[in-house]
Structure 1
Amino acid sequence: MRLFSVVAVLAITGYLMLPENVWVRTVWQVTTGYAATAAILLGAHRLPRADRLPWWCFAAGVFLNTTGIPVSVVGEIYFGFLDLPTPADPFFLGLYPACALGLGVLVWRRDRRRDWTALVDAATITTGFGLLAWVYVIEPQDLGDRMNRWAHATQVAYPIGDLLLIGMMTRLLRSGGSRGPSLWLITGALAAFLIGDTAWVVLGNLGEFGVMLENARWFRRPLESVFLIGFLLFGVAALHADARQVAAAAETPPARLGRGLLALLAGASLIAPALLAVQLHHGTVVNGWALVFGSTTLFLLVVVRMAMLVRETERQARQVRDLARSDELTGLPNRRAWNDELPRALERARRDRTPVAVAFLDLDHFKVFNDTHGHPAGDRLLKAAAAAWHSALREVDLIARYGGEEFVVLLPGAGAAEARQILARALESTPLGQTFSAGVALWDGSETSDELLKRSDAALYVAKANGRSRVELASDNWTMQQAG
């Protein structure tokens, strides 16, 4: 890759200094393009077979575009092919579908899920630049007679190809996965082609001044080298070690709406009013219906994008709320969620005049278990115990992690006898041969949630003092030994 990079720099530098001989320039261009094709194929050969297809597509595009150079020169010098379409145009145009196919394969392999947000972003940018292409390139062409229609079709095929590459390139950059050097080299190669095509379109619209610039060596030679840079960047991208990661399935999420992307979307959305302002400044609106269609499409795309952004924000807000109320280790409700739910449960019990019980659970000898087996084993015990106890409870019951190895249980509608049965099942289900001590308090109908918790906590300490592996009922000091 380093050797080819040095050769690429020398190739571009040498081309700028070549004499004004059409055959020397043609041979240099063709040699550079075919060398880039060979570099792409060599880089692809070093990759796993499943990852070679997009690089083969890029190689095909560079090969076809390079082949169009000698075909164009020979056709112009020996056969007088000056007007579009020429035999070289199919080769030049072959670059677009080949590269678009390669980009499509990369997008599909990097991001298998349907990312509608990225698709809307790509559509917005493509629509904005498409409106520019329509106003300044496509619509101004005179359809004329039958031959001119072929010329018109050929002329508009180039900006359409550029729009295709813009859309696919935007979608690729919005995908997940690696964003290493190879990806940016591919982006630079495509950008070089787009810059070169745009420059030729601008020259064509400048009339005699454009012809003068086209014939000026100091201008034409750097402009021609832009396409050579595109060829060579593809070769460097294929030979780079990071090429192995370009087609890898995404492990990182897609790029978010950063400042650069936001600026690009804003610029694309403002193209339609900017074009209208220019035409109003010149005193007449030439492309009224195109501007109406483009403005409407861009407006709808912006609305869709805003709706997606709002939904994503709401989803993230819900996720944050859920995380704030869930224990990270066990997945149970945490102390914050418990403190919110207990007063509501007591209020329902007051309204419906039904009993409610609260229990404090504490794993017995958990510190000894941790010291013996290690903290990872302790975490696994907490997760397993939480899952087992949750399964032993009723659907209406709530268990939450209060802190450390302490858990709290809310038993709506449960009196003393039913609370005993429920906690007995939970005690028997404790995994890894472990046990817990528990204190249960029945709500008296008037005390606060804090007072109720204090009574159940006091009963828990009684259970520990009486030998653990048991449940103490705060109201009557009832004890229950572990079954067996």
Structure 2
Amino acid sequence: MSEQRVRAGRPATVFAVVAALAITAYQFLPDHLWWRTAWQVGVGWAGVAALLAGAHRLPRPERLPWWLFAAGVFSNSTGIAVAHVAEAWYGLIDLPTPADPFFLGLYPACAGGLAVLIRRRDRRSDWAALVDAATITTGFGLLAWVYVISPVNLGDPMDRMAHATQVAYPIGDLLLIAMTTRLLRSGGSRGAPFWWITGSLTAFLIGDSAWVVLDNMGETGEALIGLRWFSTALESVFLVAFVLFGVACLHRGAREVAAPADARPAGLGKGLLALLAGASLIAPAVLAAQTATGQVEDGWSIAACSAVLFLLVVARMALLIRHVERQSDRVRELARSDELTGLPNRRAWNDELPRALERARRNSEPVAVAILDLDRFKQYNDTHGHPAGDQLLKAASAAWHSALRDVDVIARFGGEEFVVLLPAADVGDGLRAMDRALEATPLGQTFSAGLAVWDGVETSDELLKRADAALYAAKAAGRNRVEVAASGQPSSAAA
């Protein structure tokens, strides 16, 4: 690794080490509200500073997603201070508190940053990724509805704002789940900054989910929160989330996170398949859990979620089948096309010639075949180089294709050798076609050709063998000419 690369990676490493020490020290702080509050807010604001410093090193058009992440981290970490001040000085602990807008500000800001990254990484629509994100979000959305949102009585006007605030948190988490899943399904770089961002969002989701579980545990949850080591560890999850954003932005690969790339394949990897399967099984798992208690309270919600998941799975299968069909068509096309010239290759020619002879037999029409070979192509390659030789083959094949009729077929037989199928063409038609092709040959080059007209009896291999013999005769006669093969002694026609 060069000294320049080491220097470029040093800010992220230094910040990560300092932040890790700060989070470790947090575990041993005295049990004093203001000490702990100041430490949490300080770590959060340090993450914001790292985000702004890292974004400043990037070109201005690439700073927006990092600014949005910084806004979300600043809002959430500032909410810690606001919550403690509101509780300690004003006794405000009932929802909604003055801190809730700050805590909730994390979700739209981070979702906006993720949306910008996804849009820049995937310039084309990726419906498969969208369906995957919708499937996972729908599954977890049922959990949020059954265990968080549905139990809230939104009809009580006295507590409506409190309940709406309580519901806003799981909705925000679902938004982050959807955007994080979509980011994971995007194209582009998957270097360290990508995974630091993903890790930060995952930490936020783990922390929020832990609070929801503890709240549903009642007195047991309150007892766990009362344990200093447990609450400290849970708070540290959010501190890690604050820090990882900053590490990602300071990393030398931060610019690559938003770099555009081709859409990712629509295939299903093992990890993604397991995640989709797990999300799809949430509905029956919830139904089984409620059935075991003897009271199904959310039957309609479970049924609606199951229906949506079923439709999403069908849509994903349809997209996957369509992708496989496109890939199969592409493979078939590549198997029958020459990669350099784009003309049909030998495989396609071997399929087409017998069919052409059969059509000529049914219609009682003549058909001619010519084999063309660029003169002194090896010498041209040695003089000008192989790239120039490739350009000559491409230019010559395009020129010959334009000089032939629409019904004629030209294919690359191998190397500098090409074959031409001339339906409904006798000797005169074939010679005129070869004259036009010879005149169109670019870069002052010429070719030798052997022309054979089908006798109505011979096989395709025998017809090609006669054309090939005529080609060798043209080479032997001095090149830059066309030889016509006859059933007996071939005759010469100078081009």
TM-score when normalising by structure 2: 0.96
Aligned partner (choices 65, 69, 72) of residue 80 of structure 2: 69
Matched, 1:480 2:476: no
Please identify runs of 4+ aligned residues in structure 1 that moved more than 3 A: 251-256, 476-480
Secondary structure at the counterpart of residue 451 of structure 2: strand
2: CA distance, partners of 1:404 / 1:373: 17
1:150 Cα offset (Å): 1.0
Deviation at 1:477, TM superposition (A): 3.5
SS of equivalent residue, structure 2 residue 158: helix
SS where residue 228 of structure 1 aligns?
A: helix
Corresponding letter in the other structure for 1:386: S
In 1, distance between residues paired with 2:202 and 2:381? 59
| Inter-partner Cα distance in structure 1 for 2:264 and 2:100 | 40
* 1:147 to partner: Cα distance: 2.8
What residue number does 2:110 align with?
99
2:200 counterpart residue number: 189
Helix, strand or coil at the partner of 1:147:
coil
Matched, 1:159 2:170: yes
2:283 corresponds to 1:272: yes
Shift of 1:480: 3.2
Cα distance, 1:144 vs structure 2: 5.1
Deviation of 1:253 after TM superposition, in Å, equals 3.8
Matched position secondary structure for 2:289: helix
Distance (whole Å) between structure 2 residues aligned to residue 204 and residue 253 of structure 1: 39
- The answer to whether the Cα contact below 8 Å between 1:471 and 1:478 also exists between their aligned partners in 2 is no
Mapping for residues 184-333 of structure 1, pairs under 5 Å: 184-250=195-261, 253=264, 256-333=267-344
Measured in 2, the distance between the counterparts of 1:194 and 1:82 equals 23
In 2, distance between residues paired with 1:251 and 1:268? 27
Change (3 A) 1:120 1:438: same
**Residue 174 (str. 1) matches residue 185 (str. 2):** yes
Q: CA deviation at 1:46?
A: 0.5
Query: Separation in 2 of the partners of 1:278 and 1:437?
Result: 81
TM-score normalised by structure 1 residue count: 0.98
Question: Contact between 1:356 and 1:413, CA under 8 Å: does it hold in 2?
Answer: yes
Code of the residue aligned with 1:472 in structure 2: it is E
What residue identity is the alignment partner of 1:220?
A: S
The answer as to 2:439 corresponding to 1:421 is: no
Query: Are 1:79 and 2:82 an aligned pair?
Result: no
Letter of the 1:364 counterpart: D
Partner of 1:41: 52
Q: Provide the rounded CA distance (Å) in 2 between the counterparts of 1:384 and 1:71.
A: 72
For the 8 Å contact 1:178–1:252, the answer to whether it is kept is no
Equivalent-residue separation in structure 2 for 1:473 and 1:284 (angstroms): 91
**1:478, CA displacement in angstroms?**
4.2
- Contact kept? 1:471, 1:480, Cα under 8 Å: yes
RMSD of equivalent CA atoms: 1.2
CA contact (8 A) 1:177 1:254 kept: no
Give the count of matched residue pairs: 482
SS in 2 for 1:358: strand
How far, CA to CA, are the matches of 2:263 and 2:101 in structure 1?
Answer: 39
Residue 379 of structure 1 is matched in structure 2 by: 390
Which residue in the other structure is 2:348 paired with?
337
Q: Which of 3, 10, 25 is residue 14 of structure 2 equivalent to?
A: 3
Letter in 2 for 1:119: L
Structure 1: distance between partners of 2:118 and 2:265: 11
Is 1:121 aligned with 2:132?
A: yes
- Residue identity over aligned pairs, in percent, reads 70
For residues 439 and 156 of structure 2, what CA distance do their matches in structure 1 show? 92
Structure 1 residue 264 displacement after superposition: 0.7
Which of 393, 401, 404 is equivalent to 1:393?
404
For 1:321-372, what per-residue CA distance to the aligned partner results, in whole angstroms no more than 9, with x for missing partners?
A: 1101111111111111100010000001111111100111111111111122
Letter matched to residue 25 of structure 1: R
